[in-house]
Structure 1
């Protein structure tokens, strides 16, 4: 994500979960900031509003496609 990027709406995890590894930079999920090295698991049906003030590189995995 480029610096100053923000998702325009809720990112709802459907039909399955989303897993995120922050490779570099700082990722903001709308509730808190997560530095490089952080692993996040978002269960199906949950949501967040992705953003990054400083920019970040993420590895995203959708176990159920």
Structure 2
């Protein structure tokens, strides 16, 4: 994981087929931005194929999962 001086962070996250985050992923203290590199990501509500960009505002939540598996680039601009 990359960490910036101002608390920002970035990481590559891989979900295997059938993976599901345990509980809600709450975006605190700031937003989360996700780019789907490969596969299909589901936030608990909607599928996002490769090439999708998702902005989750601070205070929002989702339940990350993937039926097929996926690779994500995740950026936390405020930590």
Q: Same fold (TM over 0.5)?
A: yes
Aligned length: 65
Q: CA RMSD in A?
A: 0.3
Post-superposition Cα deviations, 1:43-62, rounded to whole Å, max 9, x if no partner, equal 00000000000000000000
Structure 1 residue runs without a partner (length 5+): none
Structure 2 residue runs without a partner (length 5+): 1-14
| Structure 2 length-normalised TM | 0.81
Superposition deviation, residue 8 in structure 1: 0.9
Structure number with bigger Rg: 2
| Structure 1 consecutive aligned stretches of length 4 or more whose deviation exceeds 2 Å | none
